[in-house]
Amino acid sequence: MNLKVPESITFAKTGFCPGCGHGIAIRLIAEVMEEMALTEKLLAVVDVACSSLAIDMWRFDTVMAAHGRPIPTAVGVKHIRPENPVMAYFGDGAAYNIGMAETVHAALRNDNICVFVVNNSVFGMTGGQMAATTLPWQKTVTSPYGKDPKKYGTLDITKVIGQMDIAYLARGELSGAAGIEQSKKMIKKAFEKQLANEGFCLVELLSECPTNLGMAPVDMMKHVHTAMAGYFKPGEFIDKGGSGR
């Protein structure tokens, strides 16, 4: 079999767990950059959590931002290099827990950046603690009896910024050929919109975390497609040119 891999993939020793969704997401972004001839232009910002490991997996110039701050960091980068595509690539804990104010306000400003949120429903790097995205009654190391929806809600980002004046809001899944192919299309569309100066694009990618959810990789993929995609519906929620840019 002839394996063709984008040039921006380094094949450095990976820190990601076997069965993790990040590898798929990184591959998709690298493929999209190659197809759009943006590999030498992309400027990436990652978080300090699991997404930080991506800095060694790809050859894009990259900033590792503080926890929850990849969006403002990417905004700063974009203002100085507006001709370069800029993305913030990080997890749901950073985007919707500690960095929620930054996520909402970047949408409010309709900042012209791409945001890719890898949603695995837990804090991965620190060992699988409960996150805003943890499903009702899901067991984690900080919700050992299951997440009680009366005490902690489950956050669906499309209900928070779904009515805002931004360019693109979509959710894909990193599970199954169809889901992965759809996710790739969403990633590509987000970059096309940034190049067209349309504004803020957020694509959430439902992802595997077999280590912290205690599942075998194949069961984990099924869980993403059934339980996670059952709660967090995939699809395109906003698809328009943002105003005022």
Partner 1 sequence: MEKVLMKGNEAMAEAALRSGCRFYSGYPITPQTEILEYLSWRLDEVGGTFVQAESELSGINMLLGASAAGARVLTSSSGPGFSLKQEGISYLVAADLPAVIIDVMRIGTGLGDIMQGQGDYLQLTKGGGHGDYHTIVLAPNSVQENSDMMDLAFDLAEKYRHPVLIASDAAIGQIAEAVELKEFREHDRDKYEWSIKGCKKGDEQRKIQNTYYTMPSYPEYLKAKYAGMESNEQRWESYRVEDAEVIAVAYGISSRVSKEAVDIAREKGLKAGLIRPVTLWPFPVKAFAGLKSVKAFISVEVNILGQMADDVRLATQCKYPVGSYGTFYDIPDPDVLVEKIEAFYEKEREK
Footprint of partner 1 (CB under 8 A): 7-8, 39-43, 45, 52, 55, 59-66, 69, 72-81, 84, 101-102, 104-105, 109
Question: Least Å distance between CB 47 and partner 1?
Answer: 11
Question: Least Å distance between CB 41 and partner 1?
Answer: 4
Is the CB of 100 or the CB of 215 nearer to partner 1?
100
The full 3-state SS of 35-101, as one line of letters, equals: HCCCCCCCEEEECCCHHHHHHHCECCEEEECCCCCHHHHHHHHHHHCCCCCEEEEEEHHHHHHHCHH
Question: b vs e for 129-159, b when ≥16 Cβ sit within 10 Å of the residue's Cβ?
Answer: bbbbbbbeebbbebbeeebeeeeeebbbbbe
Is the CB of 144 or the CB of 244 nearer to partner 1?
244
Is the CB of 69 or the CB of 188 nearer to partner 1?
69
For strand 168-173 and strand 201-206, is the pairing parallel, antiparallel, or unpaired? Answer: parallel
Question: Least Å distance between CB 145 and partner 1?
Answer: 33
Is the CB of 75 or the CB of 190 nearer to partner 1?
75
Question: Least Å distance between CB 53 and partner 1?
Answer: 11
